[in-house]
Amino acid sequence: MDPVKLCRILIPLLLLSLMFACGKRADAALEDESSVYSEHLRDEIPPDELKRESQASQQGELLPLEKYNYTWTDGAGIPDIVIIVDDFGNSGGALLSDFAKLPSEVAFAILPDLPFTRQSGELAAQYGHEVLIHVPMQPVSTSEKPGKNYIRTDADPDEISSLIADFSAQLPMAVAANNHMGSAVTADRNAMASVLRALHAQGLFFVDSATSTQSVGPALARNLGYPALKRDIFLDVPDNSAATLAGKISSLEKFKGRREPIVIITHCHNRAKLEALQSFITQIQSMGLHLTTLSAAGKIAA
Ligand SMILES: [Zn+2]
């Protein structure tokens, strides 16, 4: 081959592989953040759900999602999808900016009182994402505090409304709120009524993360005349494997004919979760499903 021609082929290839190697190193540094969260995620997901999902999943499969034999191929009649990414506020940097580059319909649930709370809210808004206050609430298990300040079942209505007002001041762009942990609070009628009233006073509606099967949140909200949504699927439970994602995609068929959008929650803890979410979005869009915003979903649920 003519040496000039050979150089024209080899030099771009060399540059490309160098870029790839640098990218990998940056990603490896970011992955360390994930261990901080693994314990707490256990507290955030109902134990029976975690067990059921673990039994259903086969770990380690890395086949591309488009090669699966799904139980459905026609997306007609499957409602639009709302995606919420939980637990922002602990880190910034490349991982946060890459989450911000997701389609703008994806909503960011941001924890208050953390080093990157305000920055996460501002970046989300800048990229057109809607924001939820990810309100720390008392879980049933007392092993871990949900946050520096959190809603307790024995807090009085004034205390709850001043906490919510404080969280709201940190994230003024928020349109809704969902619970971080909170299995004790969402099952408590009195505490939950105060939370819903306080959120409504700030112009926010409630999205139940459904960490407890005993949650009274959405039913109580509707009694009070407020819109509310409830999480249908945790995308990253029990893991981010292609087999788990494919299983979740197959499960969307059971919502066929429902009026309310499907509410899917995942977490921002590491790059593997971001990549799994990107694959999920690409795949469902190729199967004819549509993403919608949290506000649009809230209007349908009202
Ligand atoms: Zn959370």
* Assigned domain for 7 exists: no
- Please say whether the beta carbons of 208 and 238 come within 8 A: no
Query: Per the domain annotation, does 9 fall within a domain?
Result: no
Host domain of residue 53: 37-301
In this structure, is residue 26 part of a structural domain?
no
Instruction: Compute the distance from residue 146 Cα to the ligand 1 centre, in Å.
Output: 8
- Rounded to 5 degrees, what are φ and ψ at 84? -120, 130
Number of domains the chain is built from: 1
In a domain, 31, yes or no: no
Q: Is residue 263 part of a domain?
A: yes
Helix axis angle for 189-201 and 157-170, nearest 10°, is: 40
Buried b / exposed e over 183-203, threshold 16 CB at 10 Å, is bbbbbbeebbbbbbebbbebe
How many angstroms is it from 17 CA to the middle of ligand 1? 37
Centroid of ligand 1 to alpha carbon of 149 (angstroms): 14
Task: Please state, rounded to an integer, the average pLDDT across all residues of the chain.
Answer: 86
The CATH number covering residue 117 comes to 3.20.20.370
Residues in the chain, pLDDT under 50:
15-16, 18-40, 56-62
Q: What distance in angstroms lies between residue 136's CA and the mean position of ligand 1's atoms?
A: 8
Distance 29 CA to ligand 1 centre (A): 23
φ, ψ for residue 136, nearest 5 deg: -70, 130
Expressed in angstroms and rounded, the spacing between residue 131 Cα and the centre of ligand 1 is 14
Exposed, middle or buried, 105 (CB in 10 Å: 0-12/13-18/19+)? Answer: buried
Taking the model in full, what pTM does it have? Answer: 0.83
- The pLDDT tens digits for 167-214 are 999 999 999 999 999 999 999 999 999 999 999 999 999 999 999 999
CB 212 within 8 A of CB 46: yes
**Cα 291 to middle of ligand 1, angstroms:** 22
Instruction: Give the model confidence (pLDDT) of 34-73 as tens digits.
Output: 333 444 455 566 666 666 555 544 444 445 888 888 989 8
Q: What are the two backbone dihedrals, phi and then psi, of residue 266, each rounded to the nearest 5 degrees?
A: -135, -175
